[in-house]
Structure 1
Amino acid sequence: MQVIFKVIRQNPNSSPQVQSYQLEVEAGSTILDCLNQIKWEQDGTLAFRKNCRNTICGSCAMRINGRAALACKENIGSELKQIYGEDCCNSSITPEITIAPMGNMPVIKDLVVDMSSFWNHLEAVEPYISTGARIIPEREFLQTPEERAKLDRTGNCIMCGACYSDCNGREVNLGFVGPHALAKASRMVADSRDDTQDRRLEAYNKGTQGVWGCTRCFNCNAVCPMEVAPLDRITEIKQEILANEDVPNSRQIRHRQVLVELVKQGGWIDERAFGLQVVGDYFRDIKGLLSIAPLGLRMLIKGKFPLTFEASEGTEEVRSLIESVQAETR
């Protein structure tokens, strides 16, 4: 069947341009097969990365029809069904597939991006086991099967960059290390051979650079080709931070704790108490209180500041549900 490939092409310091290529392809052909065909038969200047062709190396990550994916994994048939439905192959209209470079990284040429920030942010979480404080043993450090099983899922990450490409948190916050780095970080926290868990949790808890920079948009889970589920791994780190009494109190921790407690009390959030407890740290953070004073004053003037709070209907049921979930996760 005939398929039109719209490839977003770009050189450094220039605007992207769309170039179309029409190919005769099979439904089982991968996107990478088609890009190879374009390069070998139509346009040798087209630039893209590739290597193993077996969903192992992660080199061929790019955006296919608006989402990050591995070109060697996605095939024509499944892509067209997502766009045109089950009758895609019988349509009289020539179907189209759009190929673009990954997001959140500058383009070097065409589908090749500069992944320097990706690797730098990975390095920032120290993604390696630290045993510096231990005496070197006579034999290697051993783990039980149960301890090793905790690392299986994060060990599947192939560093393709798909999650980083489609991360909304990274798009709005350049300091956020990204889901790939935090997925690796969760492995370090869970690894029984590491001796720096408290220091790691303190580092991952800082501002919006670490776990609190995640917007929980679920994009990383949706596009991960290896089912690492980075958002779930970020949540695991958050749970460790909240459960660890040695991790210093922070606005992010209070945000999580206060939100849950206020909903338990009233079924929804008492905005007056929320600001004072989270930003003002229960009247202990004078600087924080002063920072929200102008906003509170403007709300009062415009009649938008709630002077009273009424609990919602079904508060007891909401409280019971939250407490049940908390009991299950302890």
Structure 2
Amino acid sequence: MQVSFKILRQTQNTEPTLRTYILDVESGNTILECLNRIKWEQDGSLAFRKNCRNTICGSCTMRINGRSALACKENVANELANFPGRADSPLAEITIAPLGNLPVIKDLVVDMRSFWDNLEAVDPYVSSSARSIAQREFLQTPEERSRLDRNGNCIMCGACYSECNAREVNPDFVGPHALAKAQRLVADSRDTATENRLENYNKGTQGVWGCTRCLMCNAVCPMEVAPMDQIGKIKQEILTRKDAQGSRAIRHRKVLINLVKTGGWIDERQFGLQVVANSGRDIKGLISLAPLGLRMLARGKFPFLFESSPGKAKVRSLIEAIQKLTSRKLK
């Protein structure tokens, strides 16, 4: 069958252009195989990265039909089934573009320096300085090793980084790939720097609190690492060690849970006062609430009363059961 491949072409500091290439393909052909044929048969100037061709190296990640994926893993049949193209087009279409959140060098090749720099920022190496035992391995039990299995599947392909909405609006955020690697180190029984790591990962929106929980990293990860879930595990480690005065981000989580446990849902009046104003301790935060409060009053939207949820007892029991389960897992 014939398929129209629309590829975004550009060089550094130039506007991208969309080029169309038509190929006779088989349904089982991978996108990488199709790109190879375009380069070999139609346009030798097309630039893209590749290496293993077997979903191991992560080199060939690009945006295929609008979401980041490995070109060696995705095939024509799946792409056409999930993204059939325009009804008025005489040919089935597959669009290919470079990764997001990274500057383009040429065509589908992007500059990965910020990706690697942010990985380096989480100090992604096991620290064993406190266990200086000459000529011995640091042994782990099967259970200790199993905690690292999922994170260990990461191939550093950049798909999660490309789709990260937090990274798009906050250039200081280290990214889901780095924090997934960070969680692996927090969970590693051989590491001796857990407390220092958690302090580092707790730094405002640069670390775990920069995650907006949009789920895009989980959705596109080809190895099912689930970076957002790993970020959540680091947050939980921090929350068990810090009280509500640790930071506004920590207070936000703790106050939200406490209010829901108390009333079944959030009392928005108390939420703003306790989180932003820190129950009156943060004068600047309290003052910052005044304009919003006045607008709500003027429009008759300020809730003077709070009614608890009829199911608050059930909600409380569910939260407490989850907290107990989480506490056992962290021990």
The TM-score by the shorter chain falls in which range?
A: over 0.9
If the length of structure 1 is used for normalisation, what is the TM-score?
A: 0.93
Aligned length: 326
Letter in 2 for 1:199: N
Distance in 2 (alpha carbons) for counterparts of 1:129 and 1:45: 42
By how many angstroms is 1:206 displaced? Answer: 1.4
RMSD of the TM alignment (CA)?
A: 2.0
The match for 2:290 is 293
Distance in 2 (alpha carbons) for counterparts of 1:112 and 1:163: 17
Q: Is 1:34 aligned to residue 26 of structure 2? A: no
Q: Which whole-Å deviations, capped at 9, do the CAs of 1:136-177 have from their partners, x for residues lacking one?
A: 444122222211111111111110000000111111111111
Letter in 2 for 1:212: W
Give secondary structure in 1 for the equivalent of 2:191: coil
The match for 1:76 is 76
Letter in 2 for 1:18: L
The match for 2:195 is 198
Contact 2:98/2:110, CA 8 A, preserved across alignment: yes
Counterpart of 2:276 (choices 274, 279, 282) is: 279
Distance 1:119 1:306, change over 3 A: same
Letter in 2 for 1:315: K
Distance 1:205 1:247, change over 3 A: farther
The match for 2:114 is 117
Bigger mean CA offset, 107-116 vs 302-311: 302-311
Contact 2:208/2:234, CA 8 A, preserved across alignment: yes
Segments of 5+ residues of structure 2 without an aligned counterpart are none
Identity %: 70
The match for 2:260 is 263
Distance in 2 (alpha carbons) for counterparts of 1:261 and 1:37: 59
Q: Which whole-Å deviations, capped at 9, do the CAs of 1:240-263 have from their partners, x for residues lacking one?
A: 111124997111111111111111
Segments of 5+ residues of structure 1 without an aligned counterpart are none
Distance 1:21 1:163, change over 3 A: same
Q: Which whole-Å deviations, capped at 9, do the CAs of 1:121-150 have from their partners, x for residues lacking one?
A: 111111111223443444122222211111
Distance in 2 (alpha carbons) for counterparts of 1:301 and 1:115: 50
The match for 1:126 is 123
The match for 1:216 is 213
By how many angstroms is 1:93 displaced? Answer: 3.5
By how many angstroms is 1:296 displaced? Answer: 2.6
Distance in 2 (alpha carbons) for counterparts of 1:173 and 1:9: 26
Q: Which whole-Å deviations, capped at 9, do the CAs of 1:64-98 have from their partners, x for residues lacking one?
A: 0001000011111111111239xx9xx99420000
Distance in 1 (alpha carbons) for counterparts of 2:164 and 2:258: 29
Distance in 2 (alpha carbons) for counterparts of 1:131 and 1:92: 60
Letter in 2 for 1:205: N
Contact 1:198/1:246, CA 8 A, preserved across alignment: no
The match for 2:314 is 317
If the length of structure 2 is used for normalisation, what is the TM-score?
A: 0.93
Give secondary structure in 1 for the equivalent of 2:280: coil
By how many angstroms is 1:321 displaced? Answer: 2.3
Counterpart of 1:103 (choices 83, 97, 100) is: 100
Give secondary structure in 2 for the equivalent of 1:123: helix
